[in-house]
Amino acid sequence: MTIRPGDTLPEVTLVKATPDGPDQVQSPEFFAGRTVALFAVPGAYTPTCSARHLPGFVEQLDAFKAKGVDEVACTAVNDAFVLAAWAKASGAEGVTMLADGNGEFARAIGLDFDGSRFGMGVRSQRYAMIVRDNVVEQLHVEAPGEFKVSSADHLLAGL
């Protein structure tokens, strides 16, 4: 079942990419007591993700903070080392990278997809959400091949 606004995020271990290396975080602790703009990409370094999705959130960091968002985070079914390298290459300081290396988070919220025919294995669908104290407030899931409703601008418009 796909997660919906009003639902509590499931408990899953994610790996936060930090300058000191990977740091395991439990989703309930990460999202507790604050507002997080979370967006997911099918994969680091993929064309739309690198050219439009991540840059949009980097460009709008101050706007999210001005609207009461405590943290902007990106998740992908990649390991923390790949996400850290992608963040560095993309100039994404200020965006927290949360690795979902085995796709557990994507599966737990019902937003995984099988990209095997493209040689990608199981990945996360492209989406963006606002999470307040572990509860999904907004959720915008893209149709396959689209990039509209999960953009930083679209998510900001709903705040």
| 108: its two tokens | 């737990």
From the list 3, 14, 37, 49, the catalytic residue is 49
Phi and psi angles of residue 127, each rounded to the nearest 5 degrees, phi first: -155, 170
Q: Are 53 and 151 in contact (CB under 8 A)?
A: yes
Residue 49 is a catalytic residue: yes
Cα–Cα dist 45/97, whole Å: 13
| 39: its two tokens | 């967006």
Q: Starting from the edge strand earliest in sequence, which strands make up the sheet with 135-141, in order?
A: 21-26, 13-18, 95-99, 71-76, 35-40, 127-132, 135-141
Q: Which residues are catalytic?
A: 49
